[in-house]
Amino acid sequence: DIQMTQSPSSLSASVGDRVTITCQASQDINNYLNWYQQKPGKTPKLLIYDASNLETGVPSRFSGSGSGTDFTFTISSLQPEDIGTYYCQQYHYLPPITFGQGTRLEIQ
C-alpha cells in the first residue's frame, strides 16, 4: 500500500501568515492527491482535488501544487477560521484510499 507522509504534524502561526504543509507519497501518484480540512468537532471537508484544483466555494487563499511524490498545500494568508487539522489523501492506487497522518494547525 502507498504511504502518505505529511509534515509538519503540527504548526502554530499568526493571522496573516503564509502557511505551508507538505505531503510525500511512497510511490508516484501522478496528481491524484486531495486535501481536506477538519475543523475541531466537525466533519472533514474537501478543499482541493487533483493536487491543485479548488473545490467549489473554497476561498482562494487555499492552494495546492505538486505531482509525482511531492505535494504542497498553502494558505496564503491565515485566518482565524482556518484552525483545524489538514489531511492529504491519494487515490492513484485504489483500494485503499490512503490518508496522511494529518497536520494540526493552530493560531499563535
37 near other proteins, judged by CB under 8 A: no
Q: Which is nearer to other proteins, 14 or 56 (CB)?
A: 56
Site residues for other proteins, 85-104, by CB under 8 A, read: 85, 87, 89, 91, 94-102
Tell me which residue has cell 487533483: 50
Least distance CB 104 / other proteins (angstroms)? 10
Overall residue count recorded for the chain in this entry: 108
How many residues of this chain bind other proteins (CB under 8 A)? Answer: 25
Nearest to 24 by CA among 49, 9, 5, 8: 5
Grid cell listed for 60: 482562494
Closest by CA position to 72, among listed 52, 98, 44, 46? 52
DSSP, collapsed to helix, strand or coil, labels residue 63 as strand
**Cell numbers given for 9:** 504534524
CB nearer other proteins, residue 61 or residue 104: 104
Footprint of other proteins on residues 43-62 (CB under 8 A)?
Answer: 43-46, 49-50, 53, 55
Q: Which residues bind other proteins (CB under 8 A)?
A: 32, 34, 36, 38, 43-46, 49-50, 53, 55, 85, 87, 89, 91, 94-102
